[in-house]
């Protein structure tokens, strides 16, 4: 089920009143026996999991009983997010409803980010997409895509409000994790007055931001600390890349993970250590995902639109944070990135 009656979401625009009404009707019109499947993107981060589980708890409050949440790939939730309320909704992709009445996708900019679960879009009675990536391809049937939203959780809460679901501490904890992770703990450019107002609304439910932040941002196994040291030690700085704005990059292999006895998800936080390099606008971490397959994270400080780079290379994201899956050797993947940087410069 691709596209929509309107041909997908307009570039740069947020959901219309018609979009919101269609989404509310899709949920409100569910029969009591309806099976609802929530899906977020592969290698889920805090926004993907937090938005999905927070919304799932809201659906449960509305009386939805046949409800599952899942994501493609191994059913391993990153340790920092395993405490999230609503985790009991999670099932492995092979156990997910094969033909749900309603499928709702969270934080996925394209069908490719849904992996082997993409077939549920065609098998579902209705497919609803909640997202905030400007590179969203317009897949699914009903689109709530707001590129101006700081996180997909902002869109999720907007729909919960329209459905009449009152916030409680469990829903708020999920949405706060989503909001705080996608804004870099409220440090990134997407942090607006409205973001702080939303955070205040979530905090008013009684959740404890200090405890949440320690679990999400400030807790890491010693093996991961040693791993980070080794991977950062091989980082390379290319001051001439990106038309002189600079590129810093490093890579991690599956052997690195095995040597330090660490799961792959610990590497998701590595980009924050790389991106602080003063001499480079663009930072990149290349993480081995399979034989000759690499998960690539890109960040920009403002001179380069890394979503343009990622989109050309088969991925997507935001101007200052994006990613894609690369194939070949590390050097081949980085060379493709290097070749696209100059064409993705933002106006001064």
67-80 pLDDT, tens per residue? 999 999 989 999 99
Residue 108: both structure tokens together: 């996925």
| Location of structure tokens 């006895």 | 261
What is the average per-residue pLDDT within 8-20? 76
Indicate if the pLDDT at residue 3 is higher than 50: no
Percent of the chain at pLDDT above 70? 97
d(CA 276, CA 287): 19
pLDDT tens across 228-240, in order?
Answer: 999 999 999 999 9
Instruction: Give the pairing of strands 316-317 and 293-300.
Output: unpaired
Where residue 53 falls among pLDDT bands split at 50, 70, 90? very high
pLDDT at site 13: 78
What is the average per-residue pLDDT within 18-42? 97
Where residue 8 falls among pLDDT bands split at 50, 70, 90? very low
Indicate if the pLDDT at residue 144 is higher than 70: yes
Instruction: Give the pairing of strands 293-300 and 66-70.
Output: unpaired
pLDDT at site 1: 35
pLDDT tens across 96-141, in order?
Answer: 999 999 999 999 988 988 999 999 999 999 999 999 998 899 999 9
pLDDT at site 7: 40
Kindly give, in sequence order, each residue whose CB lies less than 8 Å from that of residue 66, ignoring residues fewer than 6 positions away. Answer: 33, 34, 35, 36, 97
d(CA 1, CA 20): 19
pTM for the predicted model, two decimal places: 0.89
pLDDT at site 12: 60
d(CA 58, CA 167): 8
- Strands of 316-317's sheet, edge to edge? 236-238, 247-252, 282-290, 293-300, 321-327, 316-317
Where residue 315 falls among pLDDT bands split at 50, 70, 90? confident
Q: Which residue, among 128, 127, 131, has the nearest Cα to 109 in the 3D structure?
A: 131
| More confident: 318 or 299 | 299
Where residue 208 falls among pLDDT bands split at 50, 70, 90? very high
pLDDT at site 43: 87
Residue 184: both structure tokens together: 């870099």
pLDDT at site 190: 87
């Amino acid at each position: 089920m691709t596209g929509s009656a309107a041909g997908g979401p307009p570039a740069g625009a947020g959901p219309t009143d018609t979009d919101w009404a269609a989404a509310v009707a899709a949920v409100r019109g569910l029969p009591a026996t309806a099976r609802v499947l929530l899906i977020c993107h592969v290698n889920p981060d805090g926004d993907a999991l937090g938005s999905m589980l927070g919304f799932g708890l809201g659906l449960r409050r509305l009386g939805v009983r046949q409800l599952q949440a899942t994501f493609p790939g191994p059913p391993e939730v990153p340790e920092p997010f395993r405490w999230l309320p609503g985790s009991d909704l999670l099932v492995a992709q092979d156990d997910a409803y094969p033909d749900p009445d309603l499928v709702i996708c969270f934080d996925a900019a394209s069908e490719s980010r849904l992996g082997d679960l993409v077939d549920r879009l065609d098998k579902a009675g209705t497919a609803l997409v909640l997202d905030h990536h400007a590179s969203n391809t317009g897949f699914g049937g009903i689109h709530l895509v707001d590129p101006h939203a700081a996180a997909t959780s902002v869109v999720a809460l907007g729909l919960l409000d329209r459905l009449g679901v009152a916030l409680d501490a469990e829903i708020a904890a999920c949405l706060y994790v989503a909001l705080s992770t996608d804004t870099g703990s409220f440090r990134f450019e997407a942090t607006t007055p409205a973001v702080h107002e939303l955070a205040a609304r979530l905090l008013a439910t009684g959740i404890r931001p200090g405890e949440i932040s320690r679990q999400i941002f400030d807790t890491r196994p010693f093996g991961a600390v040693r791993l980070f040291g080794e991977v950062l030690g091989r980082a390379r700085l290319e001051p001439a890349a990106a038309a002189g704005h600079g590129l810093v990059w490093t890579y991690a292999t599956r052997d690195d993970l095995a040597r330090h006895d660490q799961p792959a998800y610990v590497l998701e936080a590595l980009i924050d250590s790389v991106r602080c390099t003063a001499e480079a606008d663009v930072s990149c971490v290349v993480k081995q995902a399979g034989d000759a397959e690499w998960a690539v994270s890109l960040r920009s400080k403002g001179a380069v639109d890394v979503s343009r780079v990622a989109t050309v290379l088969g991925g997507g994201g935001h101007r200052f944070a994006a990613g894609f899956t690369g194939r070949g050797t590390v050097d081949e993947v980085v060379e493709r990135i290097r070749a696209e940087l100059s064409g993705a410069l933002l106006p001064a």
